[in-house]
């Protein structure tokens, strides 16, 4: 289990992480969501002891990362910036990591096979594509068969087969009782993968709940109704004032003629229809997608907006509908902040850096543990 308590991190005047408290439980996949710059990577770095917080604690099974004796066996991490020793083969990269942690050589072969890189194991990692690099990073994270996995946007750059593979891998690991903490901007992917969500904005906690609960909190509850008597039903429903509700009941007509009813449950609509002897062909509660719920819940926390219409320049205002919200993954600040740690990092035995701009000697491109050799 990962426990984060009252964690705060500032870089100069910028508060990257703001009194965060949450825990990540074993046996399920916890998605870590938030707009660009929300503080996800920083939180992960703090958990991994790669940065020093101004306040608060982060522990893994009750122990700070820096105090873990064989970190790779306990925690596997893939952080967003990718950097391996470019002249080194994938095999040697993993072998160095394995040897630094007293892991047997056969784990290297197993990890390479697990991520599908066996055929290119002897090739220079510097020549790898984005997706191959991600796979190598994931192999490094899995090397020690750790109990806890921390993955920062692991799906980035993976092909569809790779996306499916990592989804199934995470599910299998969670089912085996491991703790999986994974960030992503791909909402449809998260909706299929995550059981639980931790959502942050501007460094602060927005939600810590199941995916279903998060979506249910979104305000868009509508019911789709198909009937051969749409205008009659619309009249029946619209006439009904919803008790204590300012908005009452609204009925809109979709392009295909279906009615979209807001302000009433499917049960209430069915009963009204029966009382008015209106035939129903379909009555389906609509659920907001995770993307819609995310947009709604984080709207006030989005720092980096793109123009919704690039043609319109500054004229086409921002605000209002979902379409105006920034597309996740877009308009990012520098993708890898200074001090970011390479993919597959099995962080540090070295003292954490607290630098604002320059990384303190990330001269060892793979991990601090390698430096311990």
Ligand X SMILES: Nc1ncnc2c1ncn2[C@@H]1O[C@H](COP(=O)(O)OP(=O)(O)OP(=O)(O)O)[C@@H](O)[C@H]1O
Under the rule (CB under 6 A), what is the footprint of ligand X?
11, 14, 16, 34, 36-42, 332-333, 337-339, 356
36 binds Mg ion (CB under 5 A): no
> Which of ligand X, Mg ion, none has residue 42 at its interface (CB below 5 to 8 Å by kind)?
ligand X
* CB closer to ligand X out of 40 and 82: 40
> Which of Mg ion, ligand X, none has residue 337 at its interface (CB below 5 to 8 Å by kind)?
ligand X
Q: How far is the CB of 80 from Mg ion (least distance, A)?
A: 5
For residue 187, give the nearest of 78, 342, 41, 294 by alpha carbon: 294
Q: Is 333 exposed, middle or buried (0-12, 13-18, 19+ CB in 10 A)?
A: exposed
- The Cβ of residue 332 has, within 10 Å, a number of other Cβ atoms equal to 14
Tracing tokens 């509700």 back to the chain, one arrives at: 245
Dist CA 89 CA 110 (whole Å) = 16
The stretch among 19-27, 34-42, 88-96, 302-310 that binds Mg ion (CB under 5 A) is: 34-42
- The Cβ of residue 61 has, within 10 Å, a number of other Cβ atoms equal to 14
- Among 30, 35, 39, 41, which residue interacts with Mg ion (rule: CB under 5 A)? 41
Q: Is the CA virtual torsion 72, 132, 173, 297 positive or negative?
A: positive
* CB closer to ligand X out of 55 and 168: 55
* CB closer to ligand X out of 40 and 93: 40
Q: In this structure, are residues 205 and 22 in contact, taking their beta carbons and an 8 Å threshold?
A: yes
- The Cβ of residue 189 has, within 10 Å, a number of other Cβ atoms equal to 18
Q: How far is the CB of 220 from ligand X (least distance, A)?
A: 24
* CB closer to ligand X out of 35 and 162: 35
* CB closer to Mg ion out of 40 and 178: 40
Helix (H) or strand (E) segment spanning residue 217: helix 211-217
Q: How far is the CB of 210 from ligand X (least distance, A)?
A: 21
Q: How far is the CB of 149 from ligand X (least distance, A)?
A: 17
100 binds Mg ion (CB under 5 A): no
What values do phi and psi take at 180, rounded to 5?
Answer: -120, 120
Q: How far is the CB of 340 from Mg ion (least distance, A)?
A: 8
> Which of ligand X, Mg ion, none has residue 184 at its interface (CB below 5 to 8 Å by kind)?
none
What are the residue ranges of helices labelled H in 116-241? Answer: 130-142, 160-175, 187-193, 211-217, 230-238
Q: How far is the CB of 3 from Mg ion (least distance, A)?
A: 21
> Which of Mg ion, ligand X, none has residue 37 at its interface (CB below 5 to 8 Å by kind)?
ligand X
Q: How far is the CB of 232 from Mg ion (least distance, A)?
A: 53
Tracing tokens 């705060």 back to the chain, one arrives at: 8
Q: How far is the CB of 332 from ligand X (least distance, A)?
A: 5
CA 184 to chain CA centroid, Å, is 3
* CB closer to ligand X out of 144 and 339: 339
Q: How do 75-78 and 28-33 pair as beta strands?
A: unpaired
Q: How far is the CB of 231 from ligand X (least distance, A)?
A: 47
* Cross-strand bridge partners of residue 207: 199
30 binds Mg ion (CB under 5 A): no
89 binds Mg ion (CB under 5 A): no
174: which 2 tokens? 């969670």
The DSSP 8-state label assigned to residue 28 in this structure reads E
* CB closer to Mg ion out of 28 and 40: 40
* CB closer to ligand X out of 248 and 338: 338
Number of residues interacting with Mg ion: please give it, by CB under 5 A.
2
43 binds Mg ion (CB under 5 A): no
For residue 7, give the nearest of 29, 24, 22, 25 by alpha carbon: 22
> Which of Mg ion, ligand X, none has residue 14 at its interface (CB below 5 to 8 Å by kind)?
ligand X
For residue 47, give the nearest of 73, 71, 27 by alpha carbon: 71
* CB closer to Mg ion out of 53 and 144: 53
Instruction: Using alpha carbons only, give the angle 134, 355, 131 rounded to the nearest 5 degrees.
Output: 5
Binding site for Mg ion (CB under 5 A): 40-41
């Amino acid at each position: 289990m990962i426990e984060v308590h009252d964690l705060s991190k500032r870089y100069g005047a910028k508060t990257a992480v703001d009194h965060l408290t949450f825990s990540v439980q074993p046996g399920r996949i916890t998605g870590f969501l938030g707009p660009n710059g929300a503080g996800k990577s920083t939180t992960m770095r703090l958990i991994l002891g790669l940065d020093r917080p101004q306040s608060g604690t982060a522990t893994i099974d009750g122990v700070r990362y820096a105090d873990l004796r064989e970190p790779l066996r306990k925690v596997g991490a893939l952080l967003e910036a990718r950097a391996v020793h470019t002249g080194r083969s994938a095999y040697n990269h993993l072998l160095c990591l394995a040897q630094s942690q007293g892991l047997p050589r056969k784990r290297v072969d197993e990890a390479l096979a697990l991520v599908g890189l066996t055929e290119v194991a002897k090739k220079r990692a510097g020549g790898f594509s984005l997706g191959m690099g991600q796979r190598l990073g994931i192999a490094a994270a899995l090397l020690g068969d750790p109990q806890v996995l921390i993955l920062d946007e692991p799906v980035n750059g993976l092909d569809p087969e790779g996306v499916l593979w990592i989804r199934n891998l995470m599910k299998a690991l969670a089912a085996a009782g491991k703790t999986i903490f994974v960030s992503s901007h791909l909402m449809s992917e998260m909706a299929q993968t995550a059981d639980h969500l931790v959502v942050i904005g501007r460094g602060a906690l927005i939600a810590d709940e199941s995916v279903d609960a998060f979506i249910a909190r979104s305000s868009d509850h509508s019911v789709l109704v198909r009937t051969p008597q749409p205008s009659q039903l619309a009249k029946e429903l619209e006439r009904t004032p919803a008790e204590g509700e300012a908005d009452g009941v609204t009925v809109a007509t979709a392009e295909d003629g279906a009615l979209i009813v807001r302000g009433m449950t499917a049960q209430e609509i069915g009963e009204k229809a029966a009382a008015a002897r209106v035939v129903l062909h379909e009555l389906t509660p609509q659920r907001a997608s995770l993307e819609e719920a995310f947009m709604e819940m984080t709207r006030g926390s989005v720092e980096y907006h793109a123009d919704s219409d690039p043609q319109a320049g500054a004229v086409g205002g921002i605000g209002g509908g979902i379409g105006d919200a920034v597309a996740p993954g877009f308009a990012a600040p520098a993708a890898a902040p200074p001090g970011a740690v390479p993919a597959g990092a099995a962080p540090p035995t070295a003292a954490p850096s607290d630098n604002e701009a320059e990384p303190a000697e990330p001269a060892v491109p793979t991990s601090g543990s390698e430096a311990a050799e």
